[in-house]
Structure 1
Amino acid sequence: MNVIFSGIFYSKKSFITDAIKNKTINLVSPAISENKTIIETPFSQVIAGRRKGCQQSYYDFFIIEASDSKTSYKGFLAGNLYNKSTSTESSKKVNFLEVNIIRKIVETKGQYLSENFWGQYILLCQDLENKKIYIFPDPIGYSSLFYAETEQGILFSSDLWCLADQIEKNISINYFVSQLSSMGGLLNSNTTPFSGIKELPHGNCIIITNDNFEITEFWNPCNTKILDSKNKGCLEVFFDVISAQIKENHNTSLFLSGGSDSSSLLMALKHLKPTKHLIEALNLRDLEVSSSDESKEATRIADSLGINLNFYDWDNPYSLMQSSNMYMRFDKPHVSLLNRRSIIEQENIMLKNGDTVFWSGHGGDHLFCQGNTVYKSIADYWIKHKNKGITKKIIELCALHKIPLAMVLKDNIQALWKYYRGDHQQHDLLNFGKPKWLLPEFHNLEYDRDAIYPYFFEDLKNCPPAKAIQVLSIYEGVNQTKVSEKLNRVPTIYPFFAQPLVEFALALPVYESFDKFDTRLPFREEIRNFFKNNIVLRSTKGETSGMLQRGIEQNIREIYALCLDGYCAKQKILNTRILEEHIEMVRGGKVDELHSILNLISVELWCRDWGL
């Protein structure tokens, strides 16, 4: 999101000087391009504005000043907020918050907000009479909020660097170790690379008052109200979230692979978007690695819809450039650090015809139960229906995934046994395997469960077995997107992770997401029935490991320098001899070692940008 903010709630014990007041303003001001706003009260100070270097016009930013007989509110809304209950696109967008709405939001500690609104946003409200600050990031997790306790007061910001540059940086070695292991993708957003700074988990708000702060949950994917609230068709919800987020004066771009999600999104955009605004598709291809090439499928889909398709030849998937902008430092290590130059070049293609919004098809497989999410769905079916009709679902599952009947029965009986005993399988859902090149003492490291698991992790025991896997899959999908996107010049929309569609998917029993022929039902079925075209979608995903492996080979000299002489090696986290052997294994084609190496490269690039 293109808004940056930072602030402080002063400690009652601190003596507020001009130096303290100006510290955050002087630090953040150079990163703001327009709409610079400073909100000062006797107990707090906040600076906010549009982020420099990002396209400015898609997301809203407006100041909140409202009062009634009880109190006065001051703050801002950054991003785009939509009303769940309205039916027309023109009335869905929220451009003003009345004082009675603000009061309901703060009195319910965000519950009213999550039940009646959705979007990509962050809402900050200061209750001037009661000397409180309420900060509500969107519950799905697009927006970030970092906080730290200091002698001067409680600091908070949209960006990690805004806090890290104001306090002593205490590096968390445990954080880097977890990033290097396979658990890194499921890290709870509470953790950051600095032990003195935390990130607010999505689905929670923060309330600051009188030297204290309260973290309160206001949205939970395991909430039974969500899981039982399906009242619309899948395609109707899909069209609703797309229509609400279309901005008529912006062109549309998306990556087109020829698969179900990107193709369905392209068809929906063409159906819903005014024809006077350009819709273009982009396909990444590597002509030297045929397993990664999806250009033929993408071309077939684009031609059938009359959409212009641009190709970006990814001849070198990695561009290990160092960031020269201190205001564009990533909050956390992320694999997109490996291809920043490619992202810049792709954005140049998107922006050549003016203001553009990038629509991502990422998330459909997470939402609608692709792959092993359905393996334990027979247990879910038994919990709801017992043995009535269960034979049919078992036959469908075995036929669809070619799984032996004995294996299906064994896995689902074990899942039911754990579910009814209360010894739920959520701990089995996270793979805590660590790379062999980590030193032995880090293999046996005991992690703080509260720091690693999602905030709703214990609630998974109340979910049927397959539903628990789906919830974690959605959480992982959102986590994959949020770290890097806020620094991109082109705004990125994830319609599959829009709150109404996520809630629809959570309300759908996993055993209804497949039959013996297809997965991701009812989404695929409703798309086919609505558009009634003869377009054949790509049935299998392109294999990216060959392209990523070639990137290792092309950049091997710099990768060796980063990994063998970088921060982790200097901190004696890893065995460089074994690591070198594993890098050579990847070069030789052993791709099961690839992702841990990519995690290490992203950690080292992050450390280099931060000067560690």
Structure 2
Amino acid sequence: MSKRENTNQTPTHNATETSKKETVYTNPASSSQIIFVNTLTGELATNSDLNKNPLKKLDREVTLSQIAYSERIPMSSYWENFSLLPPGCRYTYNHSSHSGKLEIDLFNTKKETTDTPLEILTSSISSRCKTNYYKRLVVRLSGGVDSTCILLSAIEAVGADRVTAITWLDEKSSANADLKAATALCEKLNISHLLFKFEPWYFFQEINLEDHISISVSMASNKVFEKEIEFISSKINGDFIILDGHGGDHLFLDPVPPAAYQSLLREKKIIKAAKAFSMFSKLSGLSFYEALISSYKQRNHDNYQRSQFFTRHITPPPAIERPRSLKEEYLQAIAQAIYQNTTHSNISTDILYPFTSKGMIEYALSQDPYDMFDNYNTRLPLRRAANAKYPNIELRRDKGHITSAYQKALKYHSNHIIDRLESSWLTQEKLINISHIKKAIRYSSMGFGGADQTLIKIACAALIKI
């Protein structure tokens, strides 16, 4: 895992004996560490402890479920008999059944504040820089709302002369919109601007088991982040901290989930549901009918992909309870952002994720999720704060994507990935439909159908050194 410094380091966990049969473990939201629970003994271990364990073994059934399904907040690692306890969660372990239940534990983090999101971002960056004054700040700048606000906050915190922006460049993709927006912003603010062009061969490298804890799409881009660090180091003298805007979409519910109107319908709050549904429809650009069936269509697509890629039914991984309201959906989104930023990179450098700083989490927990959007905009509190303080800075409504980068990478690596797949345990044990997967890789590499997440995870699983 990453060796980066933690913004708000606190004791990693505590345990409470609720009875002779159960123990409740909690992992504070600000711990920035993943903890493992041995499901046979109930004992805890950190990631470094687990790496020293000579008895750890890849759990193939759990690995299959991680490939086939998307876990919002994972509780399963791909190690046999080890479950995850992410930050901001609690895990109740039953000693009789040797089973556990994962739940969100963010309520104690709640704290009322009158500060705006922009002020909180600036404060979190300032507090980090007090102990790292000698370091330069490098902002990953897409030109979208989140990265723009982090750039403005970084300038406010340490001054423009200590801030550099870096924009990822992917030719012939919508990420070029990022380039135009980011370049214009840096010119306006007189900020040093680096352009990092990531190549197809940076993706889908061989993967060391110890570098990850479960199967995820991010495994495909390990090398990209290594190359980014090398590039920055070649351009900047001395140490630096990278500021990353990941998590902003979670904390401000963008895109707006269907739960915004579905939960109100279940509660028979018809007028409020109609208003929320109207906002959802306008924001998503979907007709009323398309908006109503969007979740249903996605579930059908996912089920179809599983039936095509796998030769048998795959059991879903254990998961936290499905949210019953937008408030519960919001809590899960916040916890997911904390988890992803904890496990996002295994690069040994300082990375700060201001949107999951302690102050921002406290702010988000004090908000009504329905205040995050209206008929025309998402991220309303952040937009309003930025517009009020920087009226001359235009905040972008859209953002670029790097789907085409994954497609080009699949094309570049297709023969190697297919060779690895054909010799992998997935094929040898006849768990996947290799002919269909080969066809899907060829299709995706030609630009058809996008870069399916399940397909990328299958490729990553084949590239793991076992």
TM bracket (short chain): 0.7 to 0.9
In structure 2, the residue matched to 1:438 is 309
1:303, distance to aligned residue in structure 2 (A): 1.1
Q: Distance in 2 between matches of 1:372 and 1:234?
A: 19
Task: Give the equivalent residue in structure 1 for 2:62.
Answer: 175
**2:404–2:450 CA contact under 8 A, matched in 1:** no
SS in 2 for 1:373: coil
Deviation at 1:540, TM superposition (A): 1.6
Equivalent residue number for residue 66 of structure 1: none
The CA distance in 2 between the partners of 1:399 and 1:197, in whole Å, is: 44
Q: Which amino acid aligns with 2:141?
A: L
Alignment partners' CA distance in 1, 2:273 and 2:77: 45
Offset at residue 584 of structure 1 (A)? 2.0
Which of 253, 260, 265 is the equivalent residue of 1:369?
253
Distance 1:156 1:353 in 2: 38
Q: Which residue of 1 aligns with 2:232?
A: 350
1:477: how far off?
A: 3.4
Give the Å deviation of 1:122.
4.5
Distance 1:201 1:353 in 2: 35
Change (3 A) 1:432 1:490: farther
Does the CA-based 8 Å contact 1:330-1:484 persist in structure 2?
no
Hey, what's the Cα distance between the residues in 1 that align with 2:416 and 2:182? 33
1:546 aligns to 2:428 (yes or no)? no
Equivalent position to 2:126, from 228, 231, 243: 243
Counterpart in 1 of 2:452? 594
Residue 200 of structure 2: aligned partner: 316
Question: Secondary structure of 1:304's match?
Answer: helix
Equivalent residue letter for 1:157? T
Quote how far apart the aligned CAs of 1:256 are: 0.8
Deviation at 1:560, TM superposition (A): 1.1
Q: Which runs of 5+ in 1 are unaligned?
A: 3-53, 60-78, 81-118, 128-132, 416-424
Contact 1:120 1:143 in 2 (8 A): no
Judge conservation of contact 1:159–1:331 (CA < 8 Å) in 2: no
In the alignment, the residues of structure 2 paired with residue 203 and residue 275 of structure 1 have an alpha-carbon distance, to the nearest angstrom, of 34
1:113 matched to which residue of 2?
none
Find the partner of 1:196 among 72, 75, 81: 81
Quick one: higher RCO (CA 8 Å, sep 6+), 1 or 2? Answer: 2
In structure 2, the residue matched to 1:482 is 342
Aligned residues, how many?
453
Q: What is the rounded CA distance, in whole Å, between the counterparts of 1:180 and 1:476 in structure 2? A: 18
Whether contact under 8 Å (1:144, 1:199) holds in the other structure is: yes
SS of the residue corresponding to residue 196 of structure 2 reads strand
- Correspondence 1:497 to 2:356: yes
Residues 121-520 of structure 1 aligned to structure 2 (within 5 Å): 121-123=10-12, 137-139=27-29, 142-148=32-38, 154=43, 156-159=45-48, 161-163=50-52, 165-167=53-55, 169=57, 171-181=58-68, 183-186=69-72, 188-204=73-89, 220-221=105-106, 223=107, 229=112, 232-246=115-129, 247-274=132-159, 278-287=162-171, 289-293=172-176, 294-316=178-200, 318-322=202-206, 329-351=211-233, 352-373=236-257, 376-377=260-261, 380=264, 387=271, 396-404=279-287, 434-442=305-313, 445-447=314-316, 451-454=317-320, 457=321, 460-461=323-324, 464=325, 466-485=326-345, 487-520=346-379
Aligned counterparts of 2:152 and 2:395: Cα–Cα separation in 1: 12
Q: How far apart, CA to CA, are the structure 1 residues paired with 2:139 and 2:425?
A: 36
| CA deviation after TM superposition for structure 1 residue 261, in Å | 0.6
The answer to whether the Cα contact below 8 Å between 2:403 and 2:450 also exists between their aligned partners in 1 is no
Change in CA separation of 1:556 and 1:202 when aligned onto 2, cut-off 3 Å: same
Q: Structure 1 322/579 Cα, relative in aligned 2: closer, same or farther at 3 Å?
A: closer
Amino acid at match of 1:441: R
Following superposition, the deviation at residue 265 of structure 1 comes to 0.5
Percent identical among aligned pairs is 17
- The 1:310/1:121 distance shift into structure 2, 3 A limit, reads farther
Classify 1:564/1:141 alpha carbon distance in 2 versus 1 (closer, same or farther; 3 Å): farther
**Structure 2 length as normaliser, TM-score?**
0.81
Does the C-alpha gap of structure 1 residues 371 and 338 become closer, same or farther in structure 2, counting only changes over 3 Å?
A: closer
Give the Cα separation in 2 of the matches to 1:391 and 1:207.
Answer: 39
| Stretches of structure 2 lacking an aligned partner (at least 5 in a row) | 17-22
User: 8 Å contact 1:368–1:513 — kept in the other structure?
Assistant: yes
Q: Residue 205 of structure 1: CA displacement?
A: 5.9
Contact 1:260 1:537 in 2 (8 A): yes
TM-score (norm 1): 0.63
- Which structure's residues are more often strand, by fraction? 1
Distance 2:267 2:358 in 1: 27
Shift, 1:125, TM fit: 8.0
Deviation at 1:404, TM superposition (A): 4.4
- Native 8 Å contact 1:360 1:492 kept in 2: yes
How big is each residue's C-alpha offset from its partner over 1:197-235, in whole Å with a ceiling of 9 and x where there is no partner? Answer: 222243346899x9xx998989624x4x77795654333
Task: Give matches, 1:8-87, under 5 Å.
Answer: 54=3, 59=5, 79-80=6-7
What is the CA RMSD across the aligned residues, in angstroms?
4.2
Render the CA deviation track for 1:366-403: whole Å, top value 9, x for unaligned: 1112223267348659979985x888766655544445
Q: Which amino acid aligns with 2:318?
A: I
Distance 1:407 1:344 in 2: 41
Q: Which structure is larger by alpha-carbon Rg, 1 or 2?
A: 1
State the secondary structure of the residue aligned to 2:166: strand
Shift of 1:361: 0.6
* 1:591 to 1:375, Cα distance in 2 relative to 1, 3 A: same
Output the amino acid matched with 1:538.
R
Distance 1:233 1:227 in 2: 16
> Residue 436 of structure 1 contacts residue 578 of structure 1 at CA under 8 Å; is this kept in 2?
no
Equivalent position amino acid for 2:463 in 1? L
Seen in structure 2, the aligned counterparts of structure 1 residues 567 and 514 have a Cα distance that, compared at 3 Å, is same
CA–CA distance in structure 2, aligned partners of residues 547 and 559 of structure 1: 16
Task: Report the Cα offset of residue 549 of structure 1.
Answer: 0.7
